[in-house]
Structure 1
Amino acid sequence: MRFAVVQHDIVWEDRAANFARLAPQVACAAGAGAEFVLLSETFSTGFSMTPGIGEPEGGPSARFLQEQAAEHGVWVAGSCPEVAPDTGGVGGGDAALPYNSFVLAGPDGTVHRYRKLHPFTHGGEHERFRAGEKPVTVEVGDLRVTPFICYDLRFADVFWSAALDTDVYLVTANWPAARRLHWQTLLQARAIENQAYVVGCNRVGTAGDGTEHTGDSRIVSPMGELLVTAAGVETVLVADVDPAEVAATRQRLQFIADRR
């Protein structure tokens, strides 16, 4: 399956502007033969913690992903702030807070969600977003795909727990330039230790809070090889991934069985 990573800038807290910017980039990715298109974390708002930034589950950001998937006949995914329907965004405390929700929209209208397990406490995300409960693995064609979001990348244990059911990890992010080496290194580490592909999408540009982002999006093979990488500009990366390569790597080098 051919994956595309859309490395893009984000207009701060302006969903309509971001939809207008991203639609041509999704079309470009689909035109390059991509069957799965990955956008950044909080692709429609930026990594904003402004009170009220959440939208209803299935709101405008999720609908944008669904519309793009249907229009181009591909999978499209990215994260957005969503308030779960069981809370309705009312009440006090955690119940009123959104999740950082990774939405996977299929070309047939199917939608899957993963909720970020690890809010970024260093930046105060835990005060503005609820934490998810568990990893989610989705069958996309003949691939088993497990998504994570940004700060999740630092927690090897959740990647390990999903490894035997995963061919491709997706990591979408607003990772800051100040820690770009961590992003680059951890993406490769997660691929190597789990013998799976890792598809990492990070934004570029300056966020509304002044944080700088340098992209460094990449697709990593089960052996840790960089199949395609990007620097600090808007671009679309494309690479093919094959579940047979995952199976062959794990058969040839049976490391995962020795975990304790």
Structure 2
Amino acid sequence: MQHDIVWEDRAANFARLAPQVARAADAGAELVLLSETFSTGFSMTPGIGEPEGGPSAQFLAEQAAAHGVWVGGSCPEIAADGPLPYNSFVLAGPDGTVHRYRKLHPFTHGGEHERFRAGDGPVTVTIGDLRITPFVCYDLRFADVFWQAARDTDVYLVTANWPAARRLHWTALLQARAIENQAYVVGCNRVGVAGDGTEHAGDSRIVHPTGELLATAAGVETLVLADVDAAEVAATRDRFRFLADRREHTATPPALPRS
């Protein structure tokens, strides 16, 4: 669900997003992905965090229950083990199930490392016959964590506030992660201008395990819909055994010449 965000106004965002989730469910979606920090924008304001299971997670759970779908997106959540929040991807199910992944790579260039804590590792969730691994925005630049989860993943979810200035990186990396891991990649990026002046172009898309673009969006609020199938992932990996051929390598430094 490609959408704009009202800066640091949770109530306004909940009011705007609820009818969009309903529209997605009516269109046949079974999993609805919102943007990174969907309820606040990508804010570094001290105190922007909320308790784990706070209003943003509750909104996702309420929408999931109301429409009988899975709903996910990220929000700033403070856990019991420290004062700074995590950029936490929350995936809520229609039966009340909630899964969490904490963003591994705070965006140092934007100062996120000073306001947010880093997570510990990838998380893979099984929904029906799909193995789903979520990541958040800047994580997309780090191929190794995608590789780490690849053999147990059918679909990667990537939620983002990716700036328009680097939109080529966003689109290229989404396709690259699909091709090299032979898995679907669902990239959801926001549109509009953030409170800090950053412009976002959207470019949300769903990519097939071969890199084919199944559905794409331009720079407006819209739905991006496509079917994903675990059997198609298995067939792609069986037909082109690139993933099976991947090997772990340990770099050996070159020997220095004797003098």
TM-score, with normalisation over the residues of structure 2?
0.95
Partner of 2:138: 151
**What letter corresponds to residue 143 of structure 2 in structure 1?**
A
Alignment of structure 1 residues 12-27 onto 2, 5 Å: 12-27=7-22
Q: What's the offset of the Cα at 1:96?
A: 1.1
Identity of aligned residues (%): 85
Q: Distance in 2 between matches of 1:54 and 1:140?
A: 28
Which of 115, 126, 147 in structure 2 is aligned with 1:160? 147
3-state SS of the aligned residue for 1:102?
strand
Q: Distance in 2 between matches of 1:240 and 1:8?
A: 20
Q: What's the offset of the Cα at 1:43?
A: 0.1
Which of 69, 73, 80 in structure 1 is aligned with 2:68? 73
Q: What's the offset of the Cα at 1:256?
A: 1.1
Q: What's the offset of the Cα at 1:141?
A: 1.1
Which of 5, 8, 11 in structure 1 is aligned with 2:6? 11
Q: Does 1:35 align with 2:22?
A: no
Q: What's the offset of the Cα at 1:39?
A: 0.1
Q: Distance in 1 between matches of 2:152 and 2:212?
A: 21
Partner of 1:207: 194
Which of 58, 74, 86 in structure 2 is aligned with 1:63? 58
Partner of 2:170: 183
Unaligned 5+ residue runs, structure 1? 1-5, 88-94
3-state SS of the aligned residue for 1:245?
helix
Q: What's the offset of the Cα at 1:257?
A: 2.0
Per-residue Cα deviation, 1:139-173 (whole angstroms, up to 9, x for no partner) = 01110000000000000000000000000000000
Q: What's the offset of the Cα at 1:73?
A: 0.2
Which of 182, 191, 206 in structure 2 is aligned with 1:219? 206
Which of 101, 117, 128 in structure 2 is aligned with 1:114? 101
Q: Distance in 1 between matches of 2:52 and 2:74?
A: 12
Unaligned 5+ residue runs, structure 2? 248-259
TM-score, with normalisation over the residues of structure 1?
0.94
Which structure carries more relative contact order (alpha carbon 8 Å, separation 6+)? 1
3-state SS of the aligned residue for 1:133?
coil
**What letter corresponds to residue 35 of structure 1 in structure 2?**
E
Larger Rg: 2
Partner of 2:252: none
Q: Distance in 1 between matches of 2:13 and 2:74?
A: 13
Q: Distance in 2 between matches of 1:19 and 1:59?
A: 13
Q: Distance in 2 between matches of 1:61 and 1:48?
A: 15
CA RMSD of aligned residues (A): 0.5
**What letter corresponds to residue 98 of structure 2 in structure 1?**
V
Q: Distance in 2 between matches of 1:99 and 1:141?
A: 28
3-state SS of the aligned residue for 2:244?
helix
Partner of 2:118: 131
Q: What's the offset of the Cα at 1:259?
A: 1.7
Q: Does 1:97 align with 2:84?
A: yes
Which of 235, 239, 248 in structure 1 is aligned with 2:235? 248
3-state SS of the aligned residue for 1:236?
coil
Partner of 2:254: none
Per-residue Cα deviation, 1:90-136 (whole angstroms, up to 9, x for no partner) = xxxxx210000000000000000000000000111000000000100
